[in-house]
Structure 1
C-alpha cells in the first residue's frame, strides 16, 4: 500500500516572501499548519553554495520554491544543489516551483555560434533530480518541450483579467490591449478576449541589440485606455517608448501589465518619469525597495494561485483549471470582484 505523503515546501533565497506567502495560503486551504522546511542555504567565503536540510524528508513530496532571477547564476545553482540535497535524503518526489524561469529568453539560436541556454538549464534541472516543474508565463511556450519531465506553465492573464475588471469596472469597452512587439501577440490576444476589448500591436525594429530604431502602432488607439501586456520588463526601455508612442497616437491613458518585473538598471526611474499611469507586476520576482516605493508601480500576488497549483499537483488533480478567471476568483477570496 503506497505511503500517503504530505506536501512539504522548502525555499531558496531568491524570493522568500513569496515562499512564505504560499505556505500561509496552503495552511489556509488545508486548515493545518504549513511551514517551510527548516534548512540553511548559504555561501562559503569563496561563494560556493552550501545547503543543509534540518528536517527528515525521506519519502516526502517536496516542493522547492525558487525563482532563478537576479543573480540568475547563484539562484539557479541554489536550486540545483537543494535538489541534490533532497534527492540524497530520499525525498519521494521533487517539484521545482520556479515562478520566474531565468535564461528563458535564450530559447533559440538567433544567429550563428550562439547557445540555446534555456535547453541547457532544462537539462541541468532534470539531471539534478527534479521530477516536475511548476512555473509562470514562460517566455516561449516551446521551452516546455526542452524538458523530459512534466512542466506545468501557469498564466498570469486570468489574474490580470480579474485585476482589470476590478480597477476599470465599467470602462473595459474603452480599452485596447497592446502587444509591445509582434512576438507577444498571442499573449495580448488572450487577455483581450478575456476582458472583451480590442487589440493593437507596437511593431518595433532594432538597429542592434538593445537599441530600437523604429516603432509603429498597428491598430487604432485614439481615445482608448491602452493596456500594454508582456511577460518581462527588464530595463523598461521598450515599455516606456511604447507608452510615449501610444500617447502620441491619441491614447487617453496608458497602463501596463507585466508578469515578471526584472526591473534592472534604470528601469524604475524610467517608469517613474514615463507616460505610464500604472505598471502592474506580479511578485514572481521579489520587488526591490525602489520598485515598492515607485508611485505608479503596483504588485499583484501570485501566492494564492501557486498554493492551489501545488495542492492540485500533490492531490493529482487538474492544474489547467487555474487557467480560468472563474476558477481563480474564489481562490483570491474577494480580492477581485467580477463586474
Structure 2
C-alpha cells in the first residue's frame, strides 16, 4: 500500500503507510475526538479510526461535530456507514476536504439499527452493491478507500464466498481490507454478543493474505496481548485492536513502542502529556468528564488501578472539576501502589 496520492496528503504518506502495522478499531461511543487524542499520545505510529458516521449524516448533519479532529491525529480514517453509492461518494468528497487520510466502508456492524438501514454486516450478502459503493467512493476523491468486513453472516461457512466478496471490493477500488475474523450473527445475538460468541477464524485472514500477497490485510478481533499481536503480524500486514485498546490502553502503547523500538513511557507521564489538550478543550466549554472517561483503563491490572478509576470517575463528574482531579487520581494510585509494594 503506497498511501494517498493527493498532494494534500503527501505530508502524511509515510506515516500512513507505516501505520498499517497497528491500528485502533472504530468503536461507537468510544473513539471520539477526545479518545483519539489520548490514543495518539499512546501510539504515535498507529492508524486511528473515527466512530462510524452515516454518509447522510456527513452530508446533512453537524460536520463540525461529526468530523472534529486535531491535525496531529493523522493518520486518521473516517469510517462511513451506508449503502447508497451517490451518498457515499458525496461523503467521501467531504471527508477528503476535511483532511482525512482514509475512508473506510463499514461492512461489519451487526446492530439492529444498521440492519434496518441496509448497511453494516448485512452488506456481506450484497457484494455487487458493495462494489458499486466502493467504486463511487474511489471515484469521488483520491483518498484511499478501504473496507472493514466480517467473514460472513449468520451460519455462512464458505471461504470462497468471503474471498469473492473481498475480490469484488478490491476490483472496485478498495486499497486495503480489514478483516474482523468472525461471522456476524444478525439473528439471535446482540451487538455485544457478536463481539465474543462467534468463533474467531484467523486462518481465513491468513489464507486471504497468502493467496493475495499484494493486497494489504489488517486483522481485527480478539487481539488482547502483545504476544498475540506479534504472532498475527507474521501472517498479515497489520493488527487492529478494539476493546483491548480502550479497556487496557497501555497495551496499545507497549505494542506501538515495540514496533518502533522505543522504550515504553510510564503511565503517569503519558497521562500528564494529555493535560494541554484537556485544559484547552475545557476552556472551550467541554466538561472534564467527557474527556477523561477515555483514560479510565490506563492503570488496568496495576496496583491502585481500581482506586484510580474511582477517584477519577467520581471527581470528574463534580461541578468545577478540572485537571486537579486527574492529579488527585494519580496521587491516590501512586500511594496505593507504594503500599502494595511495601
Coarse TM-score class (shorter-chain normalised): 0.3 to 0.5
Q: Which has the higher helix share?
A: 2
Q: TM-score, normalised by structure 1?
A: 0.34
Q: TM-score, normalised by structure 2?
A: 0.34
